[in-house]
A = this chain, B = another copy of it.
Amino acid sequence: MKTYLDCIPCFMQQALRAGRMATSDENKLKQILDETAEMVKTISMQATPAETGAKVYQIVSKVTGVEDPYKEIKQQHILETNAIYPELEKIVANADDPLLTAIKIAIAGNVIDLGVNKAFDIVRDVQTILKQDFAIFDYSAFKKQLAKSENILYLGDNVGESVFDILLIKELKKPVKYAVRSTPIINDATREDAIASGIDQVAEIVDSGCKSPGIILSQSAPAFLKIFDTADLVISKGQGNFEGLSGCNRQVFFLLKAKCRIISNHLGVAEGSVILKEHTF
Binding site for B on A (CB under 8 A): 5-6, 8-10, 12-13, 15-16, 26, 29-30, 33-34, 37-38, 40-41, 45
Contact = CB atoms under 8 A, between A and B. Distances in A.
Contact of A5 (B5, B29, B37): B29
Nearest to A36: B37
A41 B45 contact: no
Nearest to A6: B16
A41 B38 contact: yes
A122 to B, nearest CB: 25
Copies in the complex: 2
Contacts of A26: 5, 45
Contact of A33 (B5, B15, B16, B34): B5
A15 to B, nearest CB: 8
A29 B9 CA distance: 12
A12 B10 CA distance: 9
Enumerate the 4 nearest inter-chain pairs by beta-carbon distance, A residue then B residue, closest first: A9-B12, A37-B37, A9-B13, A34-B41
A29 B5 CA distance: 8
Contacts of A41: 34, 37-38
A30 B45 contact: yes
Contacts of A10: 9
Interface centre among A9, A13, A15, A40 (most CB of B within 10 A): A9
9 contacts: A5-B30, A5-B33, A8-B16, A8-B33, A9-B12, A9-B13, A26-B45, A37-B41, A38-B41
